[in-house]
């Protein structure tokens, strides 16, 4: 099987080259898959893509013309794929539904602690010989209320992690789960979660229902000084609404591992370039905002699982025409 792996960095090449099954021939492309680069996939049986590749209808048409039969996502979310078009073109799509919920949940906890106790600012100060504590005041997590939106795999591991701090846990999910309740989550409606939470962390997928879930209206309903954490998908948050919330003081802290326009920025070294995204630059000016470049998943265990599940998916599809991690769309009538 000829597999074209897009959006590859050194860590992807290293992981996928190690333990490669014999029947798979790998070609790595550093470029993202998009309308411009899709012709590169001509002659390959499968393509492997990541969170910021663009796999819209036009890209899928080019892939189909080039003979591609399978799109293997090496991530859980599939919001960047036009599943209906893939199905219409007979292209199978598979994903890695879980590679390490621990990696993302632990990272969300890290963002909370860093924003609260300001490790990043303290570290820079001490290195420069400034041992003052002014501006570094934090708060006890103990006794605070934490609202979790999305209580699936990552949301529930996050509950386990934060439970040790002695917090009250509120939860909202379209499909509440008994196991989350057993972990002590109190399911409430979104208005209650917004009104009562000191910290709100997002662990739901990006869908048409959750796009800009955190908007002006939601922020106005929140507790003054709330901490917002997003390790899920950037477009769950309307960045301009958050900027307004930060300016008014309703939003007290923001921790983002994802950003709605991250595709033009994240995973690249742009340190000698002028960043054109004014919203992103504005966000960076707030002392109480911490942004990282979509790295919550980035642990050794997660990368090994991503590689192993991707190869298992492709092997199963090659042998049986299907695999347990397929995702599918709905064929349009006309």
Backbone φ and ψ for 255, nearest 5 degrees, come out as: -120, 115
Counting contacts by CB under 6 A, is residue 238 touching ligand NAD? no
Closest CA to 235 of 254, 207, 255: 207
Identify whether 262 is a catalytic site residue.
yes
Counting contacts by CB under 6 A, is residue 197 touching ligand NAD? no
Q: What is the secondary structure of 206-258 as a DSSP string?
A: P-TTTTT-BSHHHHHTSPTTEEEEE-S-GGGB-HHHHHHHHHHTSEEEEEES-
Name the minimum Å distance from CB 79 to ligand NAD. Answer: 7
- Active-site position among 32, 85, 203, 233: 233
Q: Which of residues 308-327 bind ligand NAD (CB under 6 A)?
A: none
**Cβ(228)–Cβ(237) under 8 Å?**
yes
- Active-site position among 74, 85, 260, 262: 262
Site mask, ligand NAD, residues 150-189, x = CB under 6 A?
Answer: xxxxxx----------------xxxx--------------
Name the minimum Å distance from CB 273 to ligand NAD. Answer: 24
Q: What does the radius of gyration of the chain's CA atoms come to, in whole angstroms? A: 21
Torsion region of 230: left, alpha or beta (phi above 0 gives left; psi -120 to 50 gives alpha): beta
Select the residue interacting with ligand NAD from 210, 238, 292, 309 (CB under 6 A): 210
How far is the C-alpha of 115 from the C-alpha of 179, rounded, in Å?
29
3 C-beta neighbours (distance < 10 Å), count: 22
Counting contacts by CB under 6 A, is residue 76 touching ligand NAD? yes
Structure tokens at 316: 């199963």
Site mask, ligand NAD, residues 32-71, x = CB under 6 A?
Answer: ----------------------------------------
Counting contacts by CB under 6 A, is residue 232 touching ligand NAD? yes
Identify whether 294 is a catalytic site residue.
yes
Select the residue interacting with ligand NAD from 18, 128, 209, 272 (CB under 6 A): 209
How far is the C-alpha of 6 from the C-alpha of 34, rounded, in Å?
10
Name the minimum Å distance from CB 285 to ligand NAD. Answer: 23
Structure tokens at 310: 């991707």
**Cβ(50)–Cβ(14) under 8 Å?**
no
Counting contacts by CB under 6 A, is residue 149 touching ligand NAD? yes
Residue with tokens 């708060």: 139
Name the minimum Å distance from CB 97 to ligand NAD. Answer: 7
Of 210 and 239, which CB lies nearer to ligand NAD in the complex structure?
A: 210
Counting contacts by CB under 6 A, is residue 294 touching ligand NAD? yes
Closest CA to 101 of 154, 177, 159, 155: 154
Of 174 and 247, which CB lies nearer to ligand NAD in the complex structure?
A: 174
Counting contacts by CB under 6 A, is residue 300 touching ligand NAD? no
Of 206 and 214, which CB lies nearer to ligand NAD in the complex structure?
A: 206
Sorted by sequence, the CB contacts under 8 Å of residue 181 that are 6+ apart come out as 187
Please choose, out of 16-24, 144-152, 193-201, 307-315, the segment that lies near ligand NAD by the rule CB under 6 A: 144-152
Counting contacts by CB under 6 A, is residue 231 touching ligand NAD? yes
How far is CA 288 from each of CA 1, 64, 210, 310, 325, rounded to the nearest angstrom? Answer: 49, 46, 25, 38, 39
**CA contacts within 13 A on the Cβ side of 256:** 25
Which residues are catalytic, by number?
233, 262, 294
Binding site for ligand NAD (CB under 6 A): 76-77, 98, 101, 104, 149-155, 172-175, 203-207, 209-210, 231-233, 257-258, 294, 296-297
């Amino acid at each position: 099987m000829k597999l074209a792996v897009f959006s590859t960095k050194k860590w992807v090449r290293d992981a996928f080259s190690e333990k490669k099954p014999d029947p798979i021939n790998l070609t790595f492309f550093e470029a993202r898959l998009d309308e411009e680069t899709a012709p590169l996939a001509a002659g390959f049986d499968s393509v492997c893509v990541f969170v910021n590749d663009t796999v819209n209808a036009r890209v899928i048409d080019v892939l189909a013309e080039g003979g591609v039969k399978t799109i293997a996502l090496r991530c859980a979310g599939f919001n960047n794929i036009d599943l209906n078009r893939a199905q219409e073109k007979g292209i199978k799509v598979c994903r890695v539904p879980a590679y390490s919920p621990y990696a993302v949940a632990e990272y969300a906890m890290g963002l909370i602690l860093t924003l609260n106790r300001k490790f990043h600012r303290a570290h820079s100060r001490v290195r420069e010989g400034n041992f003052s504590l002014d501006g570094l005041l934090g708060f006890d997590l103990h006794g605070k209320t934490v609202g979790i939106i999305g209580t699936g795999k990552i949301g529930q591991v996050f509950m386990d992690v934060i439970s040790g701090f002695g917090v009250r846990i509120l939860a909202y999910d379209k499909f509440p789960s008994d196991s989350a309740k057993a972990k002590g989550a109190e399911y409430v409606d979104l208005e209650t979660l917004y009104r009562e939470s000191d910290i709100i962390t997002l662990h739901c997928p990006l869908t048409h229902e959750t796009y800009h879930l955190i908007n002006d209206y939601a922020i106005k309903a929140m507790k003054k000084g709330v901490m917002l954490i997003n390790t899920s998908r950037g477009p769950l948050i309307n960045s301009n609404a958050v900027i307004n919330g930060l300016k008014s003081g309703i939003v007290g802290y923001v921790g983002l591992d994802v950003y709605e326009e991250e595709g033009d920025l994240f995973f690249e070294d742009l340190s000698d370039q002028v960043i054109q995204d004014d919203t992103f630059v504005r966000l960076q000016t707030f002392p109480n905002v911490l942004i990282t470049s979509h790295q919550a998943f980035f642990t050794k265990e997660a990368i090994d699982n991503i590689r192993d599940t991707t190869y298992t998916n492709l092997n199963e599809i090659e042998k049986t025409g299907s695999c347990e991690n397929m995702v599918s769309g709905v064929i349009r009538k006309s």
